[in-house]
Amino acid sequence: MADTDDPDRIALEPGLVRLRAPNPSPMTERGTNSYLLGEDALCIIDPGPDMAGHLAALLAEIGGRPVEAIIVTHAHRDHSALAPALARQVGAPILAFGDAQSGRSAAMRRLAGRIGGGEGVDAAFTPDRTLQDGASLEGPGWRLEALHTPGHMGNHLCLEWNGCLFTGDLVMGWASTLVSPPDGDVSQFVASCERLRARAARRLFPGHGAPIDDAAARIDWLIAHRRDRERQILAALRAGTADAGALTRALYSDVAPSLHPAAMRNVIAHLVDLENRNLVASDDADPLRASFSLT
């Protein structure tokens, strides 16, 4: 649920301002969070969607200060599409883990091209420079460490700063994360969450929604949610063979039908993962057409 008291512009900590883009939707909450880190020279994290009004708001907040870097946590258009226009305006390089297909697991690479998907992917996105796992970036008064955290998307980065984590769409407080193959991978998602959990961050700054002050509890919930969904799918298949659509209708009966297509992508992600672990079997290489049964 959206926090109606959460302003679109807020100074979160000394040297950190969040501006929220005006692109609300069931998938983006009240909009995409763009973060301006630093005081004298800035780093922009997730410039957001290609919207003239949001570009103007970012430039006004920058106020002519130098921008050292523009970092994109992952190549979904609501996070990355404004990066080229902002880079032209401020003369800063665009940094990311890689292009829109980077970081996919072997299982997802095998699925690419036959499963569809790619909702909201910025297919043309290419950074000026890559930030590999463990790389650091520094500016006046700030330092970031890049963590490759695939799961929501293969090229997803989280960024550690001052005991906090910028978590993109991997960990959000208002909703569970969409995991949609071939960009999303359940095994990678859980592993990335466990990695963040071990960092013991004091605060999380997500790509959508308000900051998360109890990082451990939220990450634990997300991991438990995925494991619960897996158990539900296995329990449903004990009753007999089913396809992804039937499983979605059964498991998401409390969700509006308009959201079932997105929910089905989560179900498919679990089914692909379960098949890779030899816990289920399918009768078709395309999980959109396949029926699944327990092994």
- 245 and 138 within one domain: no
% of the chain residues with pLDDT over 70: 98
- 231 and 177 within one domain: no
User: Which pLDDT belongs to residue 51?
Assistant: 98
Is residue 99 pLDDT above 90, yes or no? yes
Residue 101 CA to residue 112 CA, distance in Å, equals 10
Determine, yes or no, domain membership for 2: no
Helices (H), the chain: 52-62, 77-80, 83-90, 106-111, 186-198, 215-238, 244-251, 260-276
Determine, yes or no, domain membership for 52: yes
> Domain of 176?
9-214
| Distances from the Cα of 172 to the Cα of 3, 5, 78, 274, angstroms | 13, 17, 15, 25
- 151 and 268 within one domain: no
pLDDT (tens digit, 9 = 90+) per residue, 167-206?
999 999 999 999 999 999 999 999 999 999 999 999 999 9
Looking at the structure of the chain, the number of domains it has is 2
**CATH code where residue 157 lies:** 3.60.15.10
pLDDT (tens digit, 9 = 90+) per residue, 131-148?
999 999 999 999 999 999
- 281 and 207 within one domain: no
User: Which pLDDT belongs to residue 106?
Assistant: 87
Q: Which two tokens stand for residue 194?
A: 């466990």
Give this prediction's pTM.
0.95
pLDDT (tens digit, 9 = 90+) per residue, 102-161?
999 888 888 887 787 777 999 999 999 999 999 999 999 999 999 999 999 999 999 999
Determine, yes or no, domain membership for 249: yes
- 41 and 159 within one domain: yes
- Rounded to an integer, the average pLDDT of 259-283 is 94
- Rounded to an integer, the average pLDDT of 3-29 is 91
- 272 and 176 within one domain: no
Among the candidates 162, 179, 214, a domain finishes at 214
